[in-house]
Amino acid sequence: MESTMDKNEVIAYYDGIAAHYDNAGAGYSEEQLEDLDEAREQLATLLSGHRILELGCGTGAWTEVLSETAESVLATDASAAMLDLARMHGEDLDNVEYRLVDALALPDDIGCGEDKFTAVFMAGLWSRLTRDQQEALLLSLKKRLGKDVLLVVFDDAYVETESATIARTDLQGNTHEFQLDADGNRHELVKNYPTDSYLRKRLDKVGREIKIARWEFYWVLTCRLK
């Protein structure tokens, strides 16, 4: 089982496409953008007033949304290239700090101190983790952040003709897809599309008050850590 993401194909891929990542939204359909706008509005309201640990912030698109209503946001990513762009985009966000962090190897000081996090948010990270990595992350968050912290997981739903074709399913049940980087190199990446029953079973070990909502293009799970 991989315990960290620092030599992971996913991180290498995102390092390589960081400079072009912000253009990805240009290919979204009108229906997908409508789903995304609705999700942003609802999640900004849900996370209002929270001290948020954001895992896998990418170039900071969700960071900006969260900062509008949150007390504070620590935006983290394992890709230095993506984090640099997030920091540049968010230079005017006074309640946001940025830090290079591997979500699967949280630093010892995360979750410590007087201003403990009241919420954890991740968008697009869950689907890029293997099932073993997902379990390891959840156990780490429960141990490090403690009881009653709000966990919000937002990710892609599989949409026929819209989502990338599933290339294979491995022995652990993880699905994989092929993506091209800016240079045209092909990368095989984990891309999991969980069912509601799988999510509830996985989160039941660490969370309570589990709620799942779905749009056509996205899904969101919320719960309180036990």
Per-residue pLDDT reduced to its tens digit, 28-50: 889 999 999 999 999 999 999 99
pLDDT for 22? 67
pLDDT for 26? 55
* Right CATH for 9-225 from 3.40.50.300, 3.40.50.150, 3.40.50.261, 1.10.1740.10: 3.40.50.150
Closest by CA position to 187, among listed 216, 167, 157? 167
pLDDT for 24? 60
What's the predicted TM-score (pTM) here?
0.92
CA dihedral 64, 214, 10, 177 (to 10 degrees): -140
Query: Is residue 90 within 8 Å of 71, Cβ to Cβ?
Result: no
Chain mean pLDDT for the chain: 91
pLDDT tens track for 63-117: 999 999 999 999 999 999 999 999 999 999 999 999 999 999 999 888 777 779 9
Within 10 angstroms of residue 223's Cβ, the number of other Cβ atoms is 22
Cα of 164 vs its chain's centroid, Å: 18
CA distance 21 to 171: 31
CA distance 93 to 111: 22
